[in-house]
Amino acid sequence: MKRSIIILFAVMLSSAAFAQTTDLRVAATSEAALAFSRIGHSPAAEAMGGAGLLSTSSFAWSSYYNPAAVPFAHKTADFAVSYNTWRPSSSNYINLGGSYKIGDKVGITAGATLGMGKTMELRDEFGSEAGHFRPMDYQFNLGAAYRFVEWVSVGANVKYVAQKLFTDVRQGTVAADVFFMGEYNGIKATIGFNSLGGRVKDLAGRRWNIPSSLSFAAGYETVLWGAHGIEAEVRGDYYFIEDRAVVNNPFCLSMGAAYSFKFITARLGYHYGAESSVMPSFGAAGITLRIADIHIDAMYYIAKEGSPLKNNLSFGLGYSF
């Protein structure tokens, strides 16, 4: 089985390399195609301002953040379901995530997302009611990782992202992630490409890339006096921008910290992003409760009036062993 996993990983890494040869000029504005693909779905990671690239404790969502983290995971497996809002009155997302570590070197990860927009009333050319329609978002991830030396791993995802915009209008594409990660004595770092490749065509025939970036992070994790867990991470994303007149700052920065004691973990974070970024600036706070092998996660976005993240929240339920 291990040989099969390594072959699967090689195929995914090849897909990521192929995607990297495509046009990297991506608009990181709200007009970008399939922008929902950059929304975070892990309550734990989002509570740290979206700085979840290095997480080896809540690693069910590695296919959305960083597949290379799985071989460094604290446990063998983590599976979770979550719910989050986006512009609370208009969109809701249900997400599934799971990761499994095979021995000390190989990891696999997968995820699926269903997004449901606000139901709209349809009318015919005469103004009469002609039914209802609900926009839908879809995402499916599959990834694998391999720790080729004791302190360094490489991981890759392949993802399918799609959207149903109207009754007869659909668009979708395949994209890939590839990351390297290192860990030594609690010091962690990672770098990679997020959502490479993937282009969709609009009704006018114009092609749009999905938001892709060079992503990197550094952090530290330790346990003090055998009972107090401390975790901190700083993450950066450099988006490949098509129109600098629209977004003159393609760089986003996230930072967060977590404190654990016995069965509870508290998290705080902040994300900086330009007003027109896929993820504009926000603060975040969250909590995790652990009961045996079950973990319950919740978080809340803190954003200014008019932000798509104002009053948004996310919560989840998971099982790890």
Q: What is the pLDDT of residues 129-160, one digit of tens each?
A: 767 778 899 999 999 999 999 999 999 999 99
Q: What is the mean pLDDT of the chain?
A: 86
- The confidence band for 167, taking pLDDT boundaries of 50, 70 and 90, is low
Report residue 148 as tokens: 């080729």
Cβ count within 10 A of residue 216: 17
The residue among 269, 315, 256 whose CA lies nearest residue 288 is 315
21 pLDDT more than 70:
no
Task: Name the percent of the chain lying above pLDDT 70.
Answer: 83
Higher pLDDT, 188 or 90: 188
Structural domain boundaries enclosing 118? 2-320
The widest CA-to-CA distance across the chain, in whole angstroms, is 73
Are 62 and 44 contacting, i.e. CB atoms less than 8 angstroms apart?
no
Q: What distances in angstroms separate CA 135 from CA 71, 108, 228, one per listed residue?
A: 37, 31, 45
What distance in Å separates the CA atoms of residue 163 and residue 170, rounded to the nearest whole number?
Answer: 6
Instruction: Return phi, psi of residue 64, to 5°.
Output: -95, -20
| Torsion angle of the four alpha carbons 87, 267, 161, 321, in this order, in degrees rounded to the nearest 10 | -140
Distance in Å from the first CA to the final CA of the chain: 20
Q: What distances in angstroms separate CA 39 from CA 61, 105, 134, 179, 252, one per listed residue?
A: 12, 29, 19, 19, 14
Number of folded domains that form the chain = 1
Are 255 and 14 contacting, i.e. CB atoms less than 8 angstroms apart?
no
The residue among 176, 157, 190 whose CA lies nearest residue 72 is 190
Mean pLDDT of 45-66: 95
Which residues neighbour 157 within 8 Å (Cβ) at sequence distance 6 or greater?
A: 12, 16, 63, 67, 109, 141, 142, 143, 176, 177, 178
pLDDT, position 170: 78
Here the CATH number for the domain that contains residue 267 is 2.40.160.60
Mean pLDDT of 48-74: 95
**What is residue 227's DSSP assignment?**
T
**What is residue 134's DSSP assignment?**
-
What distance in Å separates the CA atoms of residue 42 and residue 27, rounded to the nearest whole number?
Answer: 24
pLDDT, position 195: 93
Tens digits of per-residue pLDDT, 196-228?
Answer: 988 887 767 778 888 899 999 999 999 999 899
pLDDT, position 112: 98
Tens digits of per-residue pLDDT, 265-305?
Answer: 999 999 999 777 778 899 999 999 999 999 999 999 999 88
pLDDT, position 255: 98
Tens digits of per-residue pLDDT, 187-198?
Answer: 999 999 999 988
The residue among 211, 157, 205 whose CA lies nearest residue 12 is 157
Report residue 137 as tokens: 């978002």
